[in-house]
Every structure is written in structure tokens, then in C-alpha cells.
């Protein structure tokens, strides 16, 4: 068993400064820590990768940042992704990152191990009135169908995101803030069950 698999990893599918989805992921980190759950926030902006291309992969290999991010995923049992919606789908940043990480494989290791052995929770925030929920349909498909991951059925979407957070970064809508807490708590419990630390 990998060390620290009881910990949760949080990241957003946006590297934008002032990203609403980063805010949502950071709120989830705050909620996790307030409830005694060890949490790590990663900014995908710190893991830049070129646009995936098999010729590039063949000539230059897998980017170091894809290996680094996978290593980070490996020491966390559960992963929370706050994903913006671009044209009813996921952002190119998130898809490109997942595509590269899906190519990292140690010798003798079955494909997609890091996805198949972790549990995921998904969330979204958008200035729009649907809160990016349509992008989560795509993200769920990519994670569960494409990458073989276990994805919790509960998810959170934050509409009208520009006015949704208070000055402390909490959601003004209390039931929605509670839903983030519920999802984070369930993610932590599911990760423990999956990794036999329950
Ligand atoms: C190319 C593009 C497509 C977008 N498509 C959608 C969309 O389909 N639905 C939506 O709610 N917002 C859409 N948006 C707006 C994003 O939700 C908004 O830019 C949001 O702030 C992105 O998340 P972030 O704040 O975490 O960077 C789109 C934005 C861009 C740049």
C-alpha cells in the first residue's frame, strides 16, 4: 500500500488567477482540514504540459510534470476536482493533464492504475446559472468510463460564481456549503474503505 493514502488531493481544472474553481477547491481543502482530514491543494498551473501529441510523446517522452502529478496522486487516496465548464465540456487544461497522466506507467504496471485505485469527487463553479454542471457530465464520463475511476455520485455545482463566495471564501448559500462538506466527508470515507484504512 502506498503511504498517506488516507489524504485527499484537491485541484481545479483552471490555472487562472482568480479562478472560481480554484476557490471552490480551496474551500473544500479548508472544510477537509476543519474536519480533521489531511488535504493537499495542487495548482495545475504549477504542472504545465505541452498539448498531447503521440509524435511528441514518442520523440520527447512523457513530460516530467505528468510524472510529478501522478506521483502526487499516488500518495492521496481520494481526489477532488473542481472543473470549469467550457462549451458544455471540460477545459483543455484538465483534459490534457488527464491525458498525459493516463500515459504514465511504470514497467509491468497495468494501464491507468492511479485512476483505478483512487476515488474521485467532482465539482464545478461558473458565472452561468447552471454552475458548470454540464461539464461535469463530461468529466464523469472521462474519469469513470475512460479512466476506470470510481467517482462519487454526489457532486456540487456553484452557479453565479462571481457573487457566490463571501470574503472568507465560504459559499454564501449555506445548503451548498453543507453539500461541499458532505461530498468531502464522503470522499474521505470512501478513500479509507478503498485503501483498507477504515
Ligand atoms: C472557451 C470558453 C467556453 C466557456 N463555456 C462555458 C459553458 O459552456 N458553460 C458555462 O457555464 N461557462 C462557460 N464559460 C465561462 C466559464 O465558466 C468561466 O470563464 C469561468 O470563470 C471559468 O472557470 P474559472 O473561473 O475556474 O477559470 C466558458 C469560458 C470559456 C473561456
Query: pLDDT of 143-155, one tens digit each?
Result: 999 999 999 999 9
CA–centroid distance, residue 131 to ligand 1 (Å): 10
| Confidence label for 12 from pLDDT (cuts 50, 70 and 90) | very high
Given a cut of 70, whether residue 138 has pLDDT beyond it is yes
Given a cut of 50, whether residue 84 has pLDDT beyond it is yes
Given a cut of 60, whether residue 2 has pLDDT beyond it is no
Given a cut of 70, whether residue 70 has pLDDT beyond it is yes
Nearest protein Cα to ligand 1, atom 4: 86
User: Above pLDDT 70, what percent of the chain?
Assistant: 96
Count, residues in the chain:
198
* CATH level 3 topology of 8-194: Rossmann fold (3.40.50)
Mean pLDDT computed over 191-195: 90
CA–centroid distance, residue 186 to ligand 1 (Å): 27
CA atoms within 13 A on the CB side of 191: 31
Nearest protein Cα to ligand 1, atom 31: 86
Give the start-end residues of each E strand in the chain.
Answer: 8-12, 39-42, 78-82, 119-125, 150-158
Integer Cα distance of 126 and 139 in angstroms? 15
pLDDT at 195: 83
pLDDT at 194: 87
To test the ligand 1 pocket, which listed residue (10, 12, 24, 85) has its Cβ within 8 A of the most ligand atoms? 85
Given a cut of 50, whether residue 96 has pLDDT beyond it is yes
154: CB partners within 8 A, 6+ apart: 121, 179, 182, 183, 186
CA–centroid distance, residue 124 to ligand 1 (Å): 10
Given a cut of 90, whether residue 168 has pLDDT beyond it is yes
- Provide residues with CB under 6 Å of ligand 1: 12, 14, 16, 19-21, 84-88, 126-128, 130, 132
CB contact at 8 A, 129 and 159: yes
Given a cut of 60, whether residue 185 has pLDDT beyond it is yes
To test the ligand 1 pocket, which listed residue (10, 21, 44, 86) has its Cβ within 8 A of the most ligand atoms? 86
CA–centroid distance, residue 11 to ligand 1 (Å): 17
| Confidence label for 120 from pLDDT (cuts 50, 70 and 90) | very high
pLDDT at 1: 47
pLDDT at 3: 55
Mean pLDDT computed over 123-137: 98
Nearest protein Cα to ligand 1, atom 2: 86
| Confidence label for 4 from pLDDT (cuts 50, 70 and 90) | low
| Confidence label for 79 from pLDDT (cuts 50, 70 and 90) | very high
User: Does pTM top 0.95 for this prediction?
Assistant: yes
Amino acid at each position: 500500500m502506498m503511504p498517506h493514502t488516507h489524504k485527499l488531493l484537491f485541484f481545479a481544472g483552471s490555472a487562472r488567477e482568480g479562478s472560481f474553481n480554484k476557490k471552490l477547491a480551496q474551500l473544500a481543502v479548508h472544510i477537509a482540514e476543519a474536519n480533521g482530514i489531511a488535504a493537499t491543494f495542487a495548482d495545475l498551473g504549477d504542472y504545465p504540459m505541452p498539448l498531447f501529441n503521440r509524435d511528441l510523446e514518442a520523440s520527447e517522452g512523457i513530460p516530467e510534470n505528468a510524472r510529478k502529478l501522478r506521483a502526487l496522486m499516488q500518495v492521496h487516496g481520494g481526489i477532488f476536482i473542481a472543473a470549469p465548464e467550457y462549451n458544455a465540456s471540460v477545459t483543455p487544461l484538465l483534459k490534457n493533464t488527464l491525458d498525459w497522466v493516463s500515459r504514465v506507467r511504470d514497467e509491468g504496471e497495468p494501464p491507468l492504475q492511479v485512476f483505478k485505485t483512487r476515488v474521485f469527487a467532482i465539482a464545478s463553479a461558473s458565472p452561468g446559472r447552471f454552475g458548470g454542471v454540464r461539464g461535469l457530465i463530461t468529466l464523469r464520463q472521462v474519469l469513470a468510463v475512460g479512466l476506470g475511476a470510481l467517482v462519487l455520485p454526489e457532486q456540487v455545482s456553484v452557479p453565479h460564481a462571481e457573487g457566490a463566495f463571501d470574503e472568507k471564501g465560504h459559499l454564501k448559500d449555506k445548503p451548498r456549503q453543507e453539500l461541499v462538506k458532505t461530498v468531502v466527508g464522503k470522499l474521505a470515507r470512501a478513500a479509507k474503505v478503498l485503501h483498507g484504512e477504515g
